[in-house]
Structure 1
């Protein structure tokens, strides 16, 4: 998304054994496309931040939304803001400054936070599926099962596991040697493009992505599937069509986000690094790092009457504030 790459600097192994920075090519080398993509990224990022912060504000100020479902949703919104902020601001800043460089330490740091917030979304989607399972399959015991203590422990445990997983992959990446080509055909420091640039043996990194990484992603995904199998069976036992539709509608938003999130994650990461194409990786990465965090607030609020009411209350409250207070 930045200036033409004709003058990009390559670090050759003959005069330097390791690289101190990488060059992010972005999404396009055409100046006109770069301007358009910059504007598109800026609009999507602002929509992501504004939408998710409004969700958090609405949930925190409306006592009717102080329930487990909205507690998890507010955590998901916070994670989405952080997730998008890990990559997009660097893309925008590089475009404005006319630079494509990112330091080695900055690249590794970006990779760490990408892993943290991607995995956090993953775990929160599983926790939210469990919440829906309890609400639909055990409605009479919902308040006793989904206690504040349990919800807090589920979120805290998710943060611990995601940070440990990110630390593992980041430390493994930091042990690799990078010599020669330092150009990343991507708009952020992702694992697969970095592995292709390394002149070290990356079999351990690939193995960890396909084993430990698979467990981190697939285990919550399996939990989601099991939850929805039980939910489907419970809903099908409901005699009235209206009752079935009402039960399924409470899960529709969550299912849409699950399909969008897992579809791109699985296609992007669970293949050997040698089998990835730049175009497919860029499209998939843009979907889950930029588009999905932007769409989540709309998906969860447009068909939710309580959320729409809370958002309307927040917006009207701000509009009706006295001018002296707003200053």
Structure 2
């Protein structure tokens, strides 16, 4: 075997989207717009829930936490991509590449969607016991456990990455440091990293998804036992927004991780849907069908216009 260059790499190159010079302003404007909409939309959800006492319930507490996680999830990839497009650079530092906050917030999304499914299960299947089961302490504990599990992975994987040696021409065919692609650039033994990756994928993907399926199987059973069609519709309507977000999140996620061609345009588009479009659409899905959120947002707008009008008169 030929001796390898043992020099520690200082950066990787994110190939991202193939682009001509005339395409860069379009890509920059497109992703900047989507990022701003994502931050603004999710920020308004957080503001609405925090400012309206009627929304201080478990469902909206989980929703505001999901909005915060979505802002962080998108912020781990898009700002760096925008900088690289603007500066015509493709580099990312070694330290910035091995800190896997992307999977932290992606995992947080999966746990929160599971917790929200459990919340709907308790509300529909055990309505009389809902205030006792979903009390503030339990809700806070569920979110804290979700954060703890999600945050535990990143430092462990980062420490394991530090022992690896990488090729000096580290080309990653993505707009962010996808772990599987980074491991392909290592020429030292990555078996432990891959074992941890598979374990975490199961923990952050399969287990929460199974919990969601179980919750909705029980919810469907309860809805079918409701005698009136109106009652069935009203009960099911409380789950439509969450089901839409789950379908969008897992649909795009499966499209990303079940694709065999790592550099294909189809998989790249799936990554954009998963990391950018889904967090951007979540606030619209929850606000367009939700009268309470609409009312809270209208009240915020009314107060803002009132304050601005008063300052103008002053």
SS in 2 for 1:30: coil
Q: Partners in 2 of 1:183 and 1:20 — Cα distance?
A: 13
Unmatched tracts of structure 2, length 5 or more: none
1:264 maps to which of 252, 255, 258: 252
Q: Partners in 2 of 1:45 and 1:324 — Cα distance?
A: 32
Q: Say if 1:122 and 1:220, in contact at 8 Å, map to a contact too.
A: yes
Deviations 1:70-119 (A, max 9, x none): 0000000000011111111111112222222111011112xx21111000
1:50 pairs with 2:35: no
Shifted more, 149-158 versus 22-31: the winner is: 22-31
1:298 maps to which of 270, 284, 289: 284
1:223-234 residue pairs with structure 2 within 5 A?
A: 223-234=211-222
Q: Structure 1 residues 175 and 283 mapped into 2: Cα distance closer, same or farther (>3 Å)?
A: farther
Q: CA deviation at 1:207?
A: 2.4
| Matched residue, 1:216 | 204
Q: Say if 1:214 and 1:270, in contact at 8 Å, map to a contact too.
A: no
User: Aligned-residue CA RMSD in angstroms?
Assistant: 2.0
Q: Partners in 2 of 1:242 and 1:261 — Cα distance?
A: 29
Q: CA deviation at 1:147?
A: 0.2
Q: CA deviation at 1:198?
A: 1.5
| Matched residue, 2:301 | 315
Q: Partners in 1 of 2:295 and 2:244 — Cα distance?
A: 22
SS in 1 for 2:307: coil
Shifted more, 128-137 versus 184-193: the winner is: 184-193
TM-score when scaled to structure 2?
0.93
| Matched residue, 1:95 | 85
| Matched residue, 1:63 | 53
| Matched residue, 2:263 | 278
1:105 maps to which of 95, 99, 113: 95
| Matched residue, 2:192 | 204
| Matched residue, 1:150 | 138
Q: Structure 1 residues 264 and 172 mapped into 2: Cα distance closer, same or farther (>3 Å)?
A: farther
1:171 pairs with 2:139: no
Q: Say if 2:256 and 2:274, in contact at 8 Å, map to a contact too.
A: no
| Matched residue, 1:4 | none
